[in-house]
Amino acid sequence: MTCELCNGVGGKLLWQGKQCRIVYIDQPGYPGYCRVIWNTHIKEMTDLTDAERARLLQAVFAVETVVRNLLNPEKVNLACLGNMTPHLHWHVIPRFEDDPHFPESIWGTERRPPARPTPPGIAAAIAQQLSAMDLR
């Protein structure tokens, strides 16, 4: 089986625990875009135990909290799709009115070119705040 999330980190590693990891996605126009990835190859949320689901969502909500504190986005989109990569992962995407797709999904047709620069050191700032949280 070839799975990009089993065979690679999936982005810039910000935090890693026993069950999941958090990575930064460097995508122009989307500062603060992160993924929370389950470490083992699981396809669906219902393949996890109740405790594992709670653990994964704890990490998702921690990322949402951190990016809201650091970037003050208009909205934060949470998505667990897996259609292209059937390995359980959540997208945590801070949204801004000037982002390339707002208010549509980031997977749709671009409405405008990326205008918002990525703040210097944002990935490190996210990692620092995550490390201060009790994520285990």
| pLDDT of 19 | 96
pTM score = 0.94
CATH number at residue 61: 3.30.428.10
How much is the average pLDDT of 105-122? Answer: 92
In whole angstroms, what is the distance from residue 17 CA to residue 118 CA?
A: 26
Average pLDDT, the chain: 94
| pLDDT of 52 | 97
**136 in a structural domain:** no
Q: Number of structural domains, the chain?
A: 1
The 10s digit of each residue's pLDDT in 23-74 is 999 999 999 999 999 999 999 999 999 999 999 999 999 999 999 999 999 9
What domain range includes position 21?
Answer: 4-131
Count of Cβ atoms closer than 10 Å to residue 71 Cβ: 18
